[in-house]
Amino acid sequence: MTVEVASRAGPGERRSRCAGEAAAAPREPAPREAAASQAALDILLCELLPRQGCWSDEGYLWLTGHGNRPVEFTDGFIEELPLPTSTHQAVLSFLYVLFRAWIRPRGGIAAFSALRMRVREGKFREPDILLLRDRSDSRYQDRYWQGADLVAEVVSPDHPDRDLVEKRADYAEAGIPEYWIADPRDETLTVLVLRGEAYVEHGRYGRGETAHKR
């Protein structure tokens, strides 16, 4: 009976009921309620995402494919990197322009961060600059590079040993022939060359000097 009466209601009555339903629509949550809702969502996401030490290669690739923060990955652990400073970007852009101008006429390619590079299974880095001598090199891939002929890093002031020590070991492990380190703190550029399984210093250059490859 109720359904039949409702279906026969006049247009004016139906408009009145719709207006009443619209007036009864859920209100916008108050700021405190919105914060509580976001906190609950954050907890849920943390429960669904892997714990530190349990991330996989694909999990890392998914995470970095859905965010805009620099993140690196080693054996199950995610490390969020600090955002670059103006000094960092100035040095990076200067070096990239030089490397690109040198490598492109020779058939190679230069790229800059943030681009993922696979060191090995279970380890990814995001070098500031990457070079391949041959653009057709199979290591050159769209999603991430499988290696490089040269990588360069601009030392980050928050944790210098990340670039000076940790990445030096990582890039040697990846078999990358050359690793260049620009340090804004003392305005030096260090060129490292792979000898066997470790890097040796090819040269250390200061302001006004010309750095060169091996």
Q: Tell me which architecture the domain covering 86-205 has in CATH.
A: Alpha-Beta Complex (3.90)
Q: What would the two tokens of residue 146 be? A: 């499988």
For the chain, the structural domain boundaries read: 1-48, 86-205
**Is the model's pLDDT at 38 over the cut of 80?**
no
DSSP 26: P
The predicted model gives 38-44 an average pLDDT of 71
Structure confidence by residue, pLDDT tens digits, 90-142: 999 999 999 999 999 999 999 998 899 999 999 999 999 999 999 999 999 99
Does the pTM surpass 0.85? The reply is no
**Is the model's pLDDT at 17 over the cut of 50?**
no
- Report the run of H or E that residue 27 belongs to, with start and end: none
Non-local CB neighbours of 35 within 8 Å, separated by 6+ positions = none
d(CA 187, CA 3): 82
Half-sphere exposure of 132 (CA within 13 A, CB side): 15
